[in-house]
Amino acid sequence: MRPVNLLPQSARPYVASGKAGNGSYVVIGVLAVLVLALAGYVLTSNKITTHKNEIAQAQEETQAAQAKAAGLEKYGQFSQVAAQRIQSVGSLAINRIDYERILRETSRVLPDGVWINSLDAEATGGSTTTSTSGSTTPSNTPSVHLLGCAPSQKSVATTLVRLRAIHGSDEVQLNDSGKPLQLAPDSGASGQSGGGGNCGNNFAFDILVNLTNEVTGFGDQGQKVPSTLGGGS
């Protein structure tokens, strides 16, 4: 006997007939592709946003570093100025003339009755004056220029010889030596000869002492001053 289903068609359970087409699989595949594309887009968008945030942060850090560097630039300039000043002071110290020692040595070698009215020393760039031609020759070595008085020409000659004993003396040159011109009391002028004044009836002399480069700077580059000239050796 064949069973008969008395339920209405709408109340009956669904039974797959096996006759469905491939359209459902295509829809599922398309949905899967869309899901994958959406996921890829979201991941790519997140990476782009992350990189943009990193770039913005890097730019902010760069600006902050530049502002800090600009604020510290003046300190770098101060340091550079200080270094330049130290270098300048060191250069001046190396090329300086020791006036105290020059005066001490000169006072020790001068003969009796001879005195100095003016003493000027130059580390470099001095000049040598030739009395015969009156010309001036520049010198790149240290020099001492002395204007003074002596009772006689013999004393002037002795002074020239003794000035050679000054520490570092290389050459002693007599630029001029002679008695001041005797003018009448009512002439209103005081006679002078050479470079020395206030010598009265004595001889006025103008002497240039050229020194070696070793006498400039601290310590005289290992050259010690003899004890006879007031040094320690």
SS3 labels along 9-65:
CCCCCCCCCCCCCCHHHHHHHHHHHHHHHHHHHHHHHHHHHHHHHHHHHHHHHHHHH
Q: What is the DSSP letter of 230?
A: T
* For residues 116-123, average pLDDT: 87
Give the model's pLDDT for residue 131: 44
For residues 45 and 79, membership in a common domain is answered with: yes
Give the model's pLDDT for residue 98: 78
Angle at 105 between CA 101 and CA 122, to 5 degrees: 55
For residues 87 and 103, membership in a common domain is answered with: no
Which comes out higher in pLDDT, residue 128 or 22?
22
Q: Taking 80 as the threshold, does the pLDDT of residue 162 lie above it?
A: yes
Last residue of a domain, one of 43, 72, 94: 94
For residues 90 and 147, membership in a common domain is answered with: no
Residue 208 belongs to a domain: yes
Residue 79 belongs to a domain: yes
How far is 64 from 87, CA to CA, in rounded Å? 35
For residues 210 and 103, membership in a common domain is answered with: yes
Q: Taking 50 as the threshold, does the pLDDT of residue 201 lie above it?
A: yes
Using a pLDDT cut of 70, give the percent of the chain over it.
Answer: 70
Q: What is the CATH number of the domain that holds 196?
A: 3.30.70
Residue 70 belongs to a domain: yes
How far is 66 from 60, CA to CA, in rounded Å? 10
For residues 133 and 40, membership in a common domain is answered with: no
Structure tokens at 95: 């090329």
Give the model's pLDDT for residue 75: 75
Tell me which residue range forms the domain holding 48. 23-94
Last residue of a domain, one of 94, 121, 140: 94
For residues 110 and 198, membership in a common domain is answered with: yes
For residues 108 and 207, membership in a common domain is answered with: yes
For residues 112 and 76, membership in a common domain is answered with: no
* For residues 20-27, average pLDDT: 71
Give the model's pLDDT for residue 157: 94
Residue 11 belongs to a domain: no
Last residue of a domain, one of 94, 124, 150: 94
Beta strands in 95-168 (DSSP E): 115-122, 127-129, 136-138, 143-150
* For residues 36-62, average pLDDT: 90
* For residues 81-98, average pLDDT: 76
Residue 71 belongs to a domain: yes
Residue 50 belongs to a domain: yes
Q: Taking 80 as the threshold, does the pLDDT of residue 15 lie above it?
A: no
For residues 136 and 210, membership in a common domain is answered with: yes
Number of structural domains found in the chain: 2
- Tokens 């001492």 locate to 144
pTM above 0.85, yes or no: no
How far is 48 from 55, CA to CA, in rounded Å? 10
The residue count of the chain comes to 233
For residues 73 and 142, membership in a common domain is answered with: no
Which comes out higher in pLDDT, residue 30 or 20?
30
Using a pLDDT cut of 90, give the percent of the chain over it.
Answer: 22
For residues 50 and 151, membership in a common domain is answered with: no
Q: Taking 70 as the threshold, does the pLDDT of residue 139 lie above it?
A: no
For residues 192 and 107, membership in a common domain is answered with: yes
Average pLDDT over all residues of the chain? 77
